[in-house]
Amino acid sequence: MSTAREDALDIFLYALKASRVEPAMERRLVCRDGVMEIDGHRYVLGGYERLVLIAIGKAAHTMATPFLWRVGDVRERFEGIIVGPEDEAAPSQGFRVYRGGHPSPNAGSMEAAADVLRTLQALTERDLVVFLISGGGSALMERFLEPGVSLETIAATHKALVESGAPIAAINAVRKHLSAVKGGRLAVAAAPAEQLTIFVSDVPAGELDALSSGPTFPDRSSVEDVYRIAKEYGLEERLPVEIGKKITERTLGETPKEDDAIFARSQWVVLLDSASLEDAGAERARELGWHVEIDNHCDDWSAERAVEYLMGRLGEMRRLRERVCLLSAGEVTVQVPRGATGRGGRNQHFALIASEQIAGSDVVVLSGGSDGIDGNSSAAGALVDGKTQARAEEIGYPVSAALAAFDGHTLLEQLDDTIMTGPTGNNLRDLRVLLAP
């Protein structure tokens, strides 16, 4: 019989495999006789002068390839731009590929933004643009509204936001009001063309404006939200001076909203999301003989609060029966200490906090990112158990010290408790697996 550690890893890896983009695209997208259809939305491709495909995010290449395959012979008419985290060949003639930076924008991010805006602004009402959007696009493609803002300032802004401890929705609200390519502004650039956006979502249900900071979606946040968030999380002090000044002087412009006529010819479809990941994980856990419950209440909570909550839920389950499995999707927040130079990410940080809670017990906790990359490390996440804390003490690097330095990867790598998948070409948020035999 497999161990709880083996089962936790099995559940996570199965969920990744079962939630791949390619089979989902094959199931949902149909193209026959030049008519493309997805979820009831029909497009007679021969009726458009130009067919443009813009893919942005960690799953950009993974989405673009099966999309072009599914449209068949019509793919030769598509042109476009792919913006992803890896150097990969163009999927077809007529495509330009950019390697953007993540988690911080790079020169490729800015070059991609400029090219995408030029391409979209040349479209007319006789054209169709298909956007393939996945997580990570907030950094992979960027250009600020303010002319002449340097890459160094943009990168420093993104870093300050990510390390502020603010939830992702709050971070995105700020990003959207600074950017020329977020908060619905790609839809503005593409109008009056027909627009279809297909999402591989790493945000909670109903919050598509947060996915890659919502480049093609109506923005629910406002400039007043930005000013409130900045005050709550002390952003004026964290942000570069010229960016903080725009907030303190309250000179930011508003983003397009749901009732804006700019979205009259836009449709949106969710191909995969974190529920896909959880459902697959639950299926595998039941096959392995575990009683499964799903609880996502701690989405966007701090890692510390999320650990406390989920451990409490696991304890409640365990009092009722044996072999219980608690699954939780979404993302937790971490506040990186200023000046910290450690390696790690929110998943490894979460796992280390959990290792203190489960010390000496038979509980196993896994936390991993579906994109295969956790923070600034090479790991997808980590798998810890009741012996992790003691093993850390034995090698002279206490868990508490690694947490204080935000250096979870360094410790977990030495303990062989990291999960190494490599980049998956997908991004459906994080999955946490808690097992109590």
Burial of residue 44 (number of CB atoms within 10 Å: 0-12, 13-18, 19+): exposed
Look at residue 313 and tell me whether its pLDDT is greater than 90: yes
* Domain boundary, last residue among 273, 294, 310: 273
Position 419 confidence tier, pLDDT thresholds 50, 70, 90: very high
Mean pLDDT of 29-53: 97
In terms of C-beta density within 10 A (0-12 exposed, 13-18 middle, 19 or more buried), how is residue 189 classed? buried
- For residue 257, the model assigns a pLDDT of 97
Query: What per-residue confidence (pLDDT) applies to 341?
Result: 84
Do 211 and 305 share a structural domain?
A: no
296 CB contacts (<8 Å, ≥6 apart)? 204, 274, 278, 328, 329, 330
Given a cut of 90, whether residue 212 has pLDDT beyond it is: yes
What is the phi/psi pair of residue 123, to 5°? -80, 155
The beta strands (E) that lie in 139-219 are given as: 194-200
Which pair of structure tokens corresponds to residue 301?
A: 């909570």
Are 418 and 387 a contacting pair, CB within 8 Å?
A: no
Q: Pick from 53, 59, 55: which is nearest to 76 by CA?
A: 53
Tokens linked to 237: 């002090």
**147 confidence band (pLDDT: 50, 70, 90):** confident
Out of 249, 273, 297, a domain closes at 273
pLDDT of residue 387: 98
Same domain, 167 and 185: yes
The predicted pLDDT at position 206 comes to 87
pLDDT tens-digit map of 228-239: 999 999 998 899
The answer to whether the CB of 183 falls within 8 A of the CB of 256 is yes
Q: How confident is the model at residue 8 (pLDDT cuts 50, 70, 90)?
A: very high
Position 101 scores a pLDDT of 94
Q: What is the pLDDT of residue 402?
A: 97
Q: Is the pLDDT of residue 204 over 90?
A: no
Residue appearing with tokens 């077809």: 92
Neighbours of 341 (CB within 10 A): 9
- Identify whether residues 203 and 349 lie together within a single domain: no
Q: Which residue has the higher pLDDT, 103 or 327?
A: 327
Residue 162: predicted pLDDT: 86
Residue 40 tokens, joined = 């009831």
Alpha carbon distance 320, 315 (integer Å): 9
Does one domain contain both 167 and 249? Answer: yes
Using CA atoms, how far apart are residues 25 and 23, in angstroms rounded to an integer? 5
pLDDT tens per residue, range 259-292: 999 999 999 999 999 999 999 999 999 999 999 9
Q: Do 67 and 199 fall within a single domain?
A: yes
CA dist., res. 306 & res. 331, Å (int): 10
What pLDDT score does 408 carry?
A: 98
Residue 323: DSSP 8-state: S
Q: Give the total residue count for the chain.
A: 437
Please tell me the distance from the alpha carbon of residue 280 to that of residue 11, in angstroms, as a whole number: 8
**202 and 342 housed in the same domain:** no
- The answer to whether 334 and 303 are in contact (CB under 8 A) is yes
Angle at 164 between CA 368 and CA 168, to 5 degrees: 50
The pLDDT assigned to 209 comes to: 94
Structure tokens at 409: 């990867």
Q: Mean pLDDT lowest for which of 198-202, 339-343, 409-413, 426-430?
A: 339-343
Residue 75 has pLDDT above 90, yes or no: yes
Scored b (16 or more CB within 10 A) or e, 386-412 reads bbbbebbeeeebebeebbebbbbbebb
User: What are the E-state strand segments in 351-429?
Assistant: 364-369, 381-384, 418-419
pLDDT value, residue 205: 83
For 328-381, what is each residue's pLDDT tens digit? Answer: 999 999 988 877 889 999 999 999 999 999 999 999 999 999 999 999 999 999
How many domains is the chain built from? 2
Dihedral class, residue 416 (left if φ above 0, else alpha if ψ from -120 to 50, else beta): left
- Shared domain for 291 and 227, answered yes or no, is no
Which pLDDT does position 90 carry in this prediction?
82
353: domain CATH number is 3.40.1480.10
Q: Are residues 351 and 400 in the same domain?
A: yes
For 95, the 3-state DSSP assignment is strand
pLDDT band at 165 (very low <50, low <70, confident <90, very high): confident
Q: Which of 250, 273, 296 is the last residue of a domain?
A: 273
Rounded to the nearest 5 degrees, what angle is found at the Cα of 204, between the Cα atoms of 198 and 206? Answer: 65
165: left (phi over 0), alpha (psi -120 to 50) or beta: left
Segment among 44-48, 101-105, 360-364, 369-373 with least mean pLDDT: 101-105
Same domain, 151 and 72: yes
Predicted local distance difference test score (pLDDT) of residue 40: 96
Q: Could you list the residue range(s) of the whole structural domain that residue 420 is in?
A: 4-11+275-436
Residue whose C-alpha is closest to residue 281's, from 27, 13, 25: 13
Q: Check whether residue 190 and residue 297 sit in a common domain.
A: no
Residues 84, 171, single domain; the answer is yes
How far apart (Å, rounded) are the C-alpha atoms in residues 358 and 312?
Answer: 11
- Side-chain-facing half-sphere of 163: CA atoms under 13 Å: 20
Average pLDDT (155-175) is 90
Shared domain for 260 and 395, answered yes or no, is no
CATH of residue 143: 3.40.50.10180
- pTM confidence score: 0.85
